[in-house]
Amino acid sequence: MKVTNETICKLPEKEQGLVKALLIDIKEINDTKVKPEIYLDWIDQHTEYSPERTDPCPDYYGMYAIRSEFCGDIIGVEMDINTLDTCLCLLNNYVTYI
């Protein structure tokens, strides 16, 4: 689910305040000359398990991902809210100083 100001109410209530602040960081990053633009994605589906699979299959439900507007691919890996905050801070600092 693409996280916007309209869909933020579907997120866990305890994370909504921080996610609002992170959306501002995403807007600042997108306002720079960095292209393609990015957006925040909340993984709202459980991983489907295959009966042929023998190793543990990770379930990323409730985690976040940074995605590219151009192709929708994940930039980096799936993250919890704290790791996402750190990554966006790093990315925002990087694009501010280039």
Do the beta carbons of residue 3 and residue 23 sit within 8 Å?
Answer: yes
98: pLDDT strictly greater than 80 = no
* pLDDT 10s digits, 20-40: 999 998 988 888 876 778 999
- Average of pLDDT values for 3-28? 92
Q: For the chain, what are the domain ranges? A: 8-97
Name the amino acid, one letter, at 84.
Answer: L
* pLDDT 10s digits, 50-94: 777 777 778 889 999 999 888 888 988 999 999 999 999 988 888
Instruction: Give the single-character DSSP code of 25.
Output: H
